[in-house]
């Protein structure tokens, strides 16, 4: 009988594997990565090293690489429970629930007393739109682990997706009771209550429960940027022109470590859609243009912009996001600052300005687009994405983001001195298992 790689491994190699696991558990990911890679160089067939390296890459934001490695481990030992469970977790995180659901179903049947299996099955079913089954799986999970905020959150999300808003609110309350500082549960509770109250004619003018929920969120997590911004808007009874810089910065500084992994799980397409516009509106990508990536974040658009750029500049409010953008090695310059102020200080400096998913934090677009026009050279190209609204003007959502009506966007561009305006409707990501409609816009400066 042929011996497995684990059986063939020397005691020294197994000790190295145990040491790498310790590095991984302690959060020393760079050291653990090097250790796993050295182990695999010595014994490429050592499945545990391949499996753990894949999980590490996924946790560090390299989810496609991580998934590939864990798939390889699964192909070698398809009976391994932990590998199957981690594979299903990754597939769910990457919105590949059609692949994850059969795995989750088998795992739940195989170990029915593990609440995590039912919670994962609930999430996969919800993302597939199988709401009744998702709620059933979620209830099994909460029955097994009534004190787990994770399983109550899975059930609450399933109930919200099924349109059972009152029951969802109760489930989010259970999450908050267990973990009062858990912002995602506060956020979801506020959104559900807003939907409940906006659907009631008598409560709609005051939104009392919604405002109370936002106040409780701020008491539990003082200074939370989204909670503070939305509560102020509700209390004032009017839509502010934009989210304050300090709140955008605080939000994205906190979000930076998980940003790339999370945004890819949402079928995020805005950078690619904007890049398609550039391919239509620009000559060959011959690295001869000065290009601005406004609100560059972690640099997701950089690989798509670099071929056009003689010089590629990125600007963002969040220093933590810029730290990750710097690691791409694709920018000639990265600047921490507010986009409007940066544009005002760089008149006629760029051939192309690209704003991917940054104008969603502006309600009134006129000032920022006027600044963009002044920063472009004659005949310079502006390309950006916004969330699409079917209501006139701009609309503030509980996420702290704005959506824009196509006519509002066109009027703001025209007032700023742009011509040859192109607007294309497209789904830019998913949210709550539903597509988010967007506008991909381009225009030339006169």
Cα torsion 130, 135, 140, 141: sign: positive
d(CA 410, CA 415): 9
Encode 147-178: b = buried (16+ Cβ within 10 Å), e = exposed. Answer: ebbbbbbbbbbbbbbbebbebbbbbbebbbeb
Ranges of residues in the chain whose predicted pLDDT is under 50: 1-3, 7, 201-204
Q: Tell me, what's the pLDDT at 323? A: 94
Q: Tell me, what's the pLDDT at 6? A: 54
The token pair at 358 is 């940054």
Domain limits, the chain: 183-238, 249-445
Q: Tell me, what's the pLDDT at 432? A: 66
Collapsed DSSP state (helix, strand, coil) of residue 264 = helix
Q: Which CATH class is domain 249-445?
A: alpha beta
Q: How many CB atoms lie within 10 A of CB 358?
A: 23
d(CA 306, CA 286): 10
Tally the C-alpha atoms within 13 A of residue 265's C-alpha that lie toward its C-beta.
24
Tens-digit pLDDT profile for residues 227-240: 988 998 888 876 77
Beta strands, E only, 295-417 = 309-316, 333-336, 350-355, 376-388, 394-396, 402-404
Q: Tell me, what's the pLDDT at 202? A: 45
Q: In this structure, are residues 221 and 227 in contact, taking their beta carbons and an 8 Å threshold? A: yes
Q: Tell me, what's the pLDDT at 433? A: 66
Q: In this structure, are residues 56 and 36 in contact, taking their beta carbons and an 8 Å threshold? A: yes
Q: Tell me, what's the pLDDT at 205? A: 53
Pairing of strands 289-294, 350-355: parallel
User: Which region, left, alpha or beta, applies to residue 420 given φ > 0 means left and ψ of -120 to 50 means alpha?
Assistant: left
Q: What is the DSSP secondary-structure string of 210-230? A: HHHHHHHHHHHSTT-HHHHHH
- Which helix H or strand E contains 356, and what residues bound it? none
The token pair at 331 is 């920018």
d(CA 85, CA 329): 35
Residue that the structure tokens 């059986």 belong to: 7
Give the residues across from 354 on adjacent strands. Answer: 293, 383
The token pair at 108 is 């739940």
Q: Tell me, what's the pLDDT at 5? A: 52
């Amino acid at each position: 009988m042929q011996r497995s790689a684990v059986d063939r491994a020397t005691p020294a190699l197994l000790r190295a594997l145990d040491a790498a696991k310790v590095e991984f558990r302690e959060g020393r990911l760079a050291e653990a990565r090097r250790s796993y890679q050295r182990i695999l160089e010595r014994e490429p067939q050592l499945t545990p090293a391949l499996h753990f390296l894949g999980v590490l890459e996924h946790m560090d934001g390299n989810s496609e690489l991580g998934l590939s490695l864990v798939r390889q481990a699964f192909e070698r030992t398809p009976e391994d429970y932990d590998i199957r469970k981690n594979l299903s977790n990754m597939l769910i995180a990457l919105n590949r629930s059609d692949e994850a659901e059969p795995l989750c179903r088998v795992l739940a049947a195989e170990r029915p007393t593990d609440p995590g299996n039912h919670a994962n099955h609930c999430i996969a079913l919800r993302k597939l739109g199988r709401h009744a089954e998702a709620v059933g799986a979620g209830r099994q999970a909460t029955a097994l682990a009534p004190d787990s905020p994770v399983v109550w959150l899975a059930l609450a999300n399933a109930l919200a997706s099924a349109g059972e808003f009152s029951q969802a609110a109760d489930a989010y309350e259970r999450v908050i009771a267990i973990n009062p500082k858990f912002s995602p549960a506060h956020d979801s509770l506020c959104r559900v209550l807003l939907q409940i109250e906006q659907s009631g004619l008598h409560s709609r003018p005051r939104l009392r429960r919604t405002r109370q929920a936002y106040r409780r969120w701020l008491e539990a997590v003082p200074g939370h940027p989204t909670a503070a911004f939305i509560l102020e808007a509700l209390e004032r009874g009017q839509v502010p022109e934009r989210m304050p810089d300090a709140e955008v910065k605080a939000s994205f500084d906190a979000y930076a470590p998980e940003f790339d992994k999370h945004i890819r799980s949402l079928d995020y397409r805005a950078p690619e859609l904007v890049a398609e516009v550039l391919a239509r509106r620009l000559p060959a990508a011959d690295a001869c243009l000065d290009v601005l990536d406004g609100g560059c974040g972690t640099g997701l658009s950089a690989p798509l912009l670099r071929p056009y750029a003689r010089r590629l500049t990125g600007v963002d409010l969040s220093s933590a996001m810029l730290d990750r953008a710097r690691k791409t090695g694709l920018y000639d310059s990265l600047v921490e600052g507010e986009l409007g102020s940066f544009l005002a200080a760089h008149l006629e400096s760029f051939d192309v300005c690209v704003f991917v998913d940054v104008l969603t934090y502006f309600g009134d677009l006129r000032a920022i687009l006027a600044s963009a026009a002044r920063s472009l050279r004659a005949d310079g190209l502006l390309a950006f994405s916004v969330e699409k609204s079917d209501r006139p003007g701009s609309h503030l959502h509980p996420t702290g983001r704005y959506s824009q009506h196509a006519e509002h966007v066109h009027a703001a561009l025209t007032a700023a001195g742009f011509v040859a305006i192109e607007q294309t409707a497209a789904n830019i990501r998913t949210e709550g298992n539903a597509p988010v409609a967007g506008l991909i816009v381009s225009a030339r400066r006169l």
